[in-house]
Structure 1
């Protein structure tokens, strides 16, 4: 035998009858050809059904446990009754009940849930709003309401917009998985927004207040006197909004910038500063 029946059902060799039945129900729902049109699903369903048919019969299971793949060659005890189901010969399982009323003579098969990627810029994710979306390789168009403050990986559910059902059954749902595109200014960490704040040497030394552009507009950031590159300034609640709780924070990381080209007067002032300053950043 190419496959062990226990492996086929994904159960241990000492699995109880209840464990066996639960495993079969789960796999039968997944691979039944009436709900799964993937190539190979029908063959997989047959393998699962055969494994369950053998292991759910105590006599056959006992012979299988003793003799493995040779168990069919061992003569059965003719006097022992066999437990079989009237439908398809699967012991103890009613396929009608198993598939939860999906097929009850009418061929009603609910549509499958589907997923698609919804790409947004940081600004679009921050603001939210209506988006028009056309799925690749289809002509289906959707008017999507994006809630403000969505984060990367969040799923937006469009009820009844997934795969179409059969026999009058309801359609599945469509889940849009948010993917936020990289941004040249902002870096997201959950709902927190990180950005670089360039300042001049004198702003960093003396302190100042500067305007910073964020996805939500301009905010004022106070740069503390004596700030060096790498210092992080936190603005509470200025990150991505959260309709269900606290907004994220904005972190502005100071980066001291110097001019590439100095005017004559600027050079004189820097030389004067160098002559009088006792500051030595490399001092241990």
Structure 2
């Protein structure tokens, strides 16, 4: 990773760490240039009131997304769901309720402060079929072929290596698995410079892919049935969009690895992997052992 990419990732981490701290101290957060800004294009207002009312206030306040991926992913009872960039946990908690006690929802975030907030929100909500992992969305700390659905809410645009995100998402999905993502997408006519003029990177604008770039990235990773549907404008030529795609049910690299109910830490701590296995033959337990997951109670 280049020095510029490292610096950019750290800027993103600091911005969302600050947002988590602000929520913990009784404030609010919203995706945009300033953590305290309220923007109707981002945040908890994009969820139905009935959904918001079932969650801790802190989980709602920490919502930074541009959509509601739990609704577009059409989650089903018993499925295993992974939320990329889970933040304060709003989508993980909603997913856990949708998949029920026989399913499981994982949240992945690189920010200690957000993970701490998510764990606190999980305890308040009394939800038990969830697990939060520390790591980056470019190196997902889960074995291959173990997840039914990957969701994400306005986070992929923040990645410094989106091709790695798409490849890792494809890897962890079971054959026939799917993604249901909300993200910011730019009109194909806009250059990278023009996107940057409309908003900064941590504000979910400058790092957004175009529609064509998004489709090409997903296709290069192996996804089929790619669908990108804009839902509302977030800036001139920039849209919040629903992104759906599927991992083919059969293929040379889609042999399924049986999932287990092993947990690294459960809902009372977060996993801190030092290394991630990308070997499709590695079991959940072996991958966790190799990763050196440390439970922080």
TM class, shorter-length? under 0.3
Q: Which has the higher helix share?
A: 2
* TM-score normalised by structure 1 residue count: 0.18
Bigger radius of gyration among the two: 1
